[in-house]
Chains A and B, each alone.
Chain A
Amino acid sequence: MKNEINLDSLLKEMVGHYQPQLPSASLIWWRAQIARKLREKERIERPLQVMRVTAAIACAVILATLSAHSWGQLQALVLDNKWLLLPLFLLTGSLVVALFVSPWAKSDRFPFRWTSTPG
């Protein structure tokens, strides 16, 4: 039994000597509050994001159906008026940016920030 008591006191002595540099309790509290607010923000924004993605998918499906339906007419229109290619190209480009880049830009992994610092 004495072995156990010695091991016990040795461990407690070791802990007694341990004085680490710890972050303050208020700092951890503050970080937890920020994390909670971010979680709440994400929770609130989730339905909006779902709606946004649904709308984008619906638009893409409608556009594809319409294009497939009148593909011949569209081809003839573009071939007859080649200047139409430029706005069509710009429109497609903007759609791609809106669909893929903007959700990524909002995430933390996006490398560039446009927020200005005061002063």
Chain B
Amino acid sequence: MIAFTAIRYPTMAESRMNEPIKQAEFEAFYVQTARVLHGYLVRLSRDSAIADEILQEAYMRMISAPWIEDKGRRAYLYQTATNILRDRWRKQKRERENWEQNKPPEQFLPDFELPIDMASVLERLSAQDRAVLWLAHVEQLSHREIGGILRLKEKSVKVILFRAREKAKDLLQAAGWGLAHEE
């Protein structure tokens, strides 16, 4: 009796799993993501030199990591960058103060070419709130993905995001920004 077994060919993603990313693929991904990731890191760290270092470190780790599909690569990058920054703060014993508490910045970034209202609103939020707002609104990530990046539960992300939005809206209103209220 002959037994037929179905041959299962590996998918594109499976066959590339152990290969690192190719240079051309990396460069295209970098052009697509670096500017926004840098903005995220500057907002989080409040220091463009630190943002530069972490950006490079995160991309270097991504290059060394096994190949990831395009969808997961962005989340991996944000997770790596956030972890590097939090590790730095942990070493300086400043994680709690920087991440959860709303510590006002020592100095405002003078060379920041941004509309002042939103930039100054973000400056007044905690790093966790800034990260959640950025990932939800700029990167349009789901609560689950944000939770994965920031090491939070999906439900916690929902609550933190809601509170961060409320705080941001209050600050915008206090600054005289005309937010339309329809509710």
Which of A17, A31, A36, A39 is within 8 Å of B113, CB to CB? A17
Q: A13-B118, A15-B39, A20-B35 are in contact. Are A6 and B137 (CB under 8 A)?
A: no
Interface SS majority for chain B: helix
Enumerate chain A residues within 8 angstroms of B169, measured Cβ to Cβ: 3, 7
Q: A14-B119, A31-B56 are in contact. Are A22 and B35 (CB under 8 A)?
A: yes
The CA of A29 and the CA of B168, in the complex, are separated in Å by 38
B79 at the interface (CB under 8 A from A): no
State which residues 5-24 of A face B: CB under 8 Å: 6-8, 10-15, 17-20, 22-23
The CA of A23 and the CA of B60, in the complex, are separated in Å by 12
B: which residues have CB within 8 A of A? 23, 26-27, 30-31, 34-36, 38-39, 42, 48, 52, 55-56, 59-60, 63-64, 113-115, 117-119, 122, 133-134, 137-138, 165, 168-169, 172, 179-183
Chain A residues with a Cβ closer than 8 Å to the other chain, count: 28
Interface pair A22/B26, CB less than 8 Å apart: no
Enumerate chain B residues within 8 angstroms of A10, measured Cβ to Cβ: 115, 117-118, 172
The CA of A1 and the CA of B165, in the complex, are separated in Å by 12
Enumerate chain B residues within 8 angstroms of A8, measured Cβ to Cβ: 137
A9 to chain B, nearest CB (A): 9
